[in-house]
Amino acid sequence: MTQLNTEVEMLRRIPLFSRIEPAKLKLLAFTSEHVTFQDSQILMRQGEIGAEAYVLMEGRVAVMVDSPQGEITVAELGDNELIGEIAILCDVPRTASIKALGEVKTLRIRKEQFLQLIAQFPQMGIEIMRSLADRLSATTMELAEAKRNQGAS
């Protein structure tokens, strides 16, 4: 299997891209850039303007947010995850910092490419809304739990 076909198969495993025809995914993979990050290297910083999203092809990353106590890790993500899409979709600063945990191989997707895909495939917009709603729901539950735990102390 060629590298391009491997990338297309990887993209299809991401729910956001799962319903897009292979020819379009091949174009996306072809126009994207391979970027490798080393251990502890920062992929993106909270607060910066986002011009790209990344597909994690291989490796793990820590998702970190600033807090009054300093930077805290709120999640770890691995293969076939999409990161950085919120900043490019919503034109808001990055909501978290992402740090490589060991070597991380990614596919960088530029904002223009990503927005063109959404324009061509409205179903992607629905998948994005579902993904963001799931994240918001999980975050809300985590905040409620943290608040309960804080009150119990």
Residue 143: phi and psi, rounded to 5, are -65, -40
CATH class, domain 3-152, is mainly beta
For all residues of the chain together, what is the average pLDDT?
A: 87
C-alpha to C-alpha distance for 63 and 96, rounded to whole angstroms? 6
State yes or no: pLDDT of 1 exceeds 70: no
C-alpha to C-alpha distance for 138 and 74, rounded to whole angstroms? 12
Residue at 143: amino acid letter: L
Q: What 8-state DSSP symbol labels residue 75?
A: E
Residues 78-125 have pLDDT tens digits of 988 889 988 888 888 998 999 999 999 999 999 998 888 888 878 777
Residue 60 CB neighbour total at 10 angstroms = 16
C-alpha to C-alpha distance for 127 and 110, rounded to whole angstroms? 19
